[in-house]
A and B are shown apart, each in its own frame.
Chain A
Amino acid sequence: MESKKTISRRPSMKFIASSEKAPKVEIQAGMKFKVEAIELVDATLKPIKKGAARLCGGTSTCLALIDIEDLEMP
């Protein structure tokens, strides 16, 4: 599968209708989804780069972010 990081077009965005408790999907007998898929971010868990030390940023999250990515490196 092709990996691609950026998309040059800048379209507007809307959300898939989400007020329905169960999305309405019409599945026909014998159908297969006709979809092209391009992976943008893979499922590998990324190493931590920043850690929160102290001090709230006002949204109940720490804003004192310290670089910890390389701390455990020799």
Chain B
Amino acid sequence: MFYNSRYNFCFETESCHLLYNSKSGATVKLSGEDAVILGEYLIGAKRQVDPDLFDIDLFRYLAASGFIVDASVDELLDIRERYWKARGETPVVLTITTTMNCNLGCYYCYEERIEKKLEFKDADSIIQKLETLFSQSNKKSLHVDWYGGEPLLNIEFMESASLLIQEFCQKKGINYHSSIISNGTLWPQQIESFLKRHKIRQVQISFDGLKENHNARRRYRKEFLSGENNSYDLTFSLVEKLLDFVTVDIRFNIDWRNKDDIFPFLDIISERGWFDKMYPAIFQPARLSAYSERSAFMSKKQLSIKDFDLIREKISKKLAGIGKIEESEVPDGFPFPKTFVCAALATDSFVVGADQLIYRCGLQVGETNRATQSLQTDSNHHFSDNGFWDTFDPTISSSCSKCSFLPVCFGGCPKKHLEGDQSALDEQSEYWKNNLAQKVVTYFGLETLSKVPLTKELQFREGY
């Protein structure tokens, strides 16, 4: 006995229908006089599929591609197994918050700008953690993500810890790489040697608009201002140099007041050749929002998901054939079913806070009630979130388990589940309802004219 998959979608264009399965990722172009009927037959509520309606080859293909499912198959169980495999297999990412301090005072920042920073002795504790981790794991790589505050405000720690960690990896035969997120204002003069010394292969630099808006938002804090308040020029010229040596993700933070800066900014960086450099720039539009509990005030200032998506779509069109835009929901440009989890869920990944506490998510650093361990073995800190992180499984959530977007979403941000932030979780649903069809269709060069969101009935199918 066979059924239609809960994860089938069918998108219609003028010339064909695209049948897509979010669990397998399989996509097939249907044409012919019964394409509409077949599409409708396979989507919607659960139904028994009659093999006699199909040519044998077509039936076999649809079954092998996951559109038609044998009654003995539990699709949700497959996704659960895939999710837990991903948690175990996602490579080790160690995020190190060298300091909570920052020389800039961005109005939307979710972190406390406090003096806390990691010290040399903490590098030894990090090595001990790595020693334990790799002795219990068969992983062969380590990616360190340098984070802050502004990580280069504590460059002394980074210089020493980086070399110690690399030495540890070399001894153990562990492949090592790193990345850094920085505001771009405190970099050493010798950029190339700095990148090489720390094996940095990705840098994320943020812009908040054109010069006027950027400087107004990314203002130097009083104690760090030694001349003109102009972080824009410094950051801009740094990126131009970096692009000769390393991948740079240009994060462009967007809200209502700076959204008109995006396209002039893209014109400027295109003219400057940022997308044609040795390492072409990657453009990452970001929606300024309530990233963490501390920045909840942002929920009233943020763009709606719909408005933000429209902006992203315009950026995609503008950059088509020119440069790469990266969207976190669909990092490879097509809604492939997820085979990875974020570092917060990855079994072997962790975040070291500048407060010597260990967190699962970088956005929690400084929220000491969210810590899950301490670097110090004698800490008497109470850790209450470990149970959540150890057991979080969207396939058993009452809502996610019934959702047809589950294979491409894995429940979205686990931190939002932890915080019980229902409006953020609803926004994730909204994203997929608004964008799934377009992401599938545009991948094949088809143009989307209709903006009709997918319905709740398609998101939550009956009969399963």
Chains A and B bind each other: yes
Q: Which A residues form the contact surface with B (CB < 8 A)?
A: 1, 4-27, 31-68, 71-74
Contact partner of A43 (CB less than 8 A), chosen from B29, B65, B437, B441, is B65
- Please tell me the number of chain B residues within 8 Å of chain A, measured between CB atoms: 120
- In the complex, A39→B332 CA distance in Å? 19
**In the complex, what residue of chain A is closest to B438 when comparing beta carbons?**
A13
Which listed residue, B29, B34, B95, touches A53 by the CB 8 Å rule?
B95
Quick check: A64 and B181 within 8 Å, CB to CB? yes
- Return B345 CB to nearest CB of chain A, in Å: 9
Q: Which residue in B29, B344, B455 is a CB contact (below 8 Å) of A19? A: B455
| Contacts A12-B450, A22-B462, A25-B41; A60 near B427 (Cβ below 8 A) | yes
Of all chain A residues, the one with the shortest Cβ separation from B60 is A1
B59 to chain A, nearest CB (A): 9
Residues of the A chain whose Cβ atoms lie less than 8 Å from the Cβ of B40: 16-17, 23-25
A72 to B289 alpha-carbon distance, docked (Å): 34
Other-chain residue from A13, A44, A59 in contact with B447 (beta carbon distance below 8 A): A13
On whether the beta carbons of A71 and B339 are closer than 8 Å, the reply is no
* Complex Cα–Cα for A16 and B423 (A): 28
5 residue pairs from A and B, CB less than 8 Å apart? A16-B40, A23-B44, A43-B26, A57-B328, A58-B253
The one of A9, A34, A55, A58 in contact with B34, judged by C-beta atoms closer than 8 angstroms, is A34
Partner among A19, A35, A41 whose Cβ is within 8 Å of the Cβ of B27: A41
Q: What per-residue 1/0 map shows which CB atoms of B27-47 lie under 8 Å from chain A?
A: 111111111111111011101
Contact of A4 among B29, B39, B58 (CB under 8 A): B29
Known contacts A25-B40, A64-B145: A48-B90 contact under CB 8 Å:
yes
* Closest A residue by C-beta to B142: A71
Residues of chain B within 8 A of A35, CB atoms compared: 30-32, 34-35, 38, 58
Q: Does B186 contact A (CB under 8 A)?
A: no
Binding site for A on B (CB under 8 A): 10-19, 21, 24-41, 43-45, 47, 50, 52-55, 57-58, 61, 64-66, 82, 90-91, 93, 95, 139-141, 143, 145, 147, 175, 177, 179, 181, 201-202, 204, 247, 249, 251, 253-254, 284-289, 291-292, 302, 305, 308, 326-329, 331-332, 334, 336-337, 339-340, 342-344, 346, 351, 361-363, 412-413, 416, 424-425, 427-428, 431, 437, 441, 444-450, 452, 454-455, 457-458, 462
Residues A51 and B91 in contact, CB atoms below 8 Å apart: yes
Report the bound CA distance from A23 to B231 in whole Å.
57
Task: Name the A residues within 8 Å of B447 (CB-CB).
Answer: 10-13
Contacts of A50 in B (CB 8 A): 331-332, 340
In Å, the complex CA distance between A56 and B305 comes to 14
**Taking the nearest CB of chain A, how far is it from the CB of B331, in angstroms?**
4
